[in-house]
Amino acid sequence: MKKDAKTMKKVAERCTQYAPNGECHCTNSTAGDNVTCKNCTHYEPDEVCTLHLYKEIAENHDLMS
């Protein structure tokens, strides 16, 4: 499965469960460069997503290539 930074960004941008973690609680921030699975509370280094959404989203949106 493709797990590069570009794909993680694209997946997170399309993900309804994206939940950014970290210090910033800015609710109004634009969906900028920091939107990526790596910044999501559901991110897990081995399988990427503990909700198992990553693969599904990547496949549904044809992001694997």
Q: The tokens of 9 are what?
A: 């960004």
Beta bridge partners of 49: 43
Q: How far apart are CA 22 and CA 10, in angstroms?
A: 20
Which of residues 4, 5, 49, 60 is near ligand SF4 by CB under 6 A?
49
**Positions in 8-37 near ligand SF4 (CB under 6 A):** 11-12, 15, 17-18, 37
Nearest to ligand SF4 of 34, 51 (CB atom):
51
Q: How far apart are CA 23 and CA 46, in angstroms?
A: 23
User: What does the binding site for ligand SF4 look like in residue numbers (CB under 6 A)?
Assistant: 11-12, 15, 17-18, 37, 40, 42-43, 48-49, 51, 53-54, 57
